[in-house]
Structure 1
Amino acid sequence: MEEKEMQANEAQENTMNINADENAAGITNMDESIVENETEKLKEELNEQKDKYLRLAAEFDNYRKRTSKEKYELIQTAGKDIIISLLEVLDDIDRAEYQINNSADFALQKEGVTLVFNKIRST
């Protein structure tokens, strides 16, 4: 009887081992599909992050170019405004020089030069 019990126990263990192997294979197949799904999700997320990075880099490059252009235009405009305002003063200086050379009235010459200096200071 012991021999029959031993054979029955062995048969039961073999059946359990076979079932365990089948379950392990099933879990492996399930794990592979889960891993594949996770891999796909991670690839999609990586592609989204790469796209965001490229867009951000392009946006920053455009910002840098735009601010550089605005700065250049500001410098050009500021220089132009200064030159235009100084042209008026230069015209006044030319008139003062003409009056100094052609007029004998020292008080008028002094007043003209003072007006030119005041105009330079206000510019």
Structure 2
Amino acid sequence: MTPTPTSATTRPSSDDSVTFVRNYYGLLPGNVDAAFALLSPSAQAQSGGIEGYRRFYGGLSAVSVEGAQAVGANTVQATIVFQRQDGTTSRERYRFVVGQNSNGSTILQSFSRA
């Protein structure tokens, strides 16, 4: 696969933002440390720190993304489906803001229920 040229902007494109959100949730619940590293410091704190994050995702058997769409240059809205280990499922609508950290890596800057 040929790498996509990058621009000098500090915001990912809307397509890149949707792909990022899908890829981020694709890490969960199996690779919580890698997923947690993709959160901004404020999103990490909002998630309850690494221990709260591990506790939450440790209770899940699967996570999936439905209907992800860009609603702005770096904003994505999607329904996240959480399947718990007890077999119950919940669907929650979220809004995500995707950006870049000081190293230029794409991160999830913030999330909120939509």
Fold agreement, TM-score > 0.5: no
Q: Larger relative CO (CA 8 A, sep 6+): 1 or 2? A: 2
Q: Considering only CA atoms, is the larger Rg found in Structure 1 or Structure 2?
A: 1
Q: TM-score per shorter chain, which class?
A: under 0.3
- More strand, by proportion: 2
- TM-score, with length taken from structure 2: 0.21
Normalised TM-score (structure 1)? 0.20
